[in-house]
Amino acid sequence: MRPALAGDTGGLSGPAIRPVAVRCVYQVHAAMRSGAVPEVPIMGMGGIMTGLDALEFVLAGASGVAVGTAVFNDPSAPLRVLEELRQALAERGFARFADAVGRAHQPRPA
C-alpha cells in the first residue's frame, strides 16, 4: 500500500521530457557562450526517438546525443537515429556535424 514508483511520484522520460531537455541544453550553451560558465561538451538526452529529435538538441548546443528510451522498443534505434541525423544534416546543408552544434544561437539573417 505504498508507492511503487521511484521518488513516490515517478518521473519523466522519453518524448515527454524532450522539450524541457532541449531548453536546458539551449540555456547551458547560451551561458557558456556568454562566459558565465566554463565551456564543456554538452550531451543532449531525453526523448530522442528520431534523427530530427537529435538535430533539435544539436542545434540547441549539444555536441553529442544519447538514445535511451527508444531502445526499449527498437534495439537498433541508435543506428537508425544516427542515419536519420546524417540525412537531416545533409538536407540542411551542413557538411560536418560540428557545424550544426549551437546553430540556433547564431543571429538570424536579415
Q: Are 57 and 48 in contact (CB under 8 A)?
A: yes
**So what's the pLDDT on residue 24?**
97
**So what's the pLDDT on residue 7?**
65
Cell 505504498 identifies what position? 2
**So what's the pLDDT on residue 12?**
75
Judge whether residue 1 has pLDDT over 70: no
Helices (H), 1-110: 18-34, 51-60, 70-73, 77-91, 97-100
Judge whether residue 102 has pLDDT over 80: yes
**So what's the pLDDT on residue 14?**
84
**So what's the pLDDT on residue 6?**
62
User: Which sign does the torsion angle of CA 92, 94, 98, 102 carry?
Assistant: negative
Judge whether residue 15 has pLDDT over 90: no
Candidates 25, 26, 22; CA nearest to 48 is 22
pLDDT tens column, 47-75: 999 999 999 999 999 999 999 999 999 99
Candidates 7, 110, 101, 1; CA nearest to 55 is 101
- 94: Cα within 13 Å, side-chain hemisphere: 17
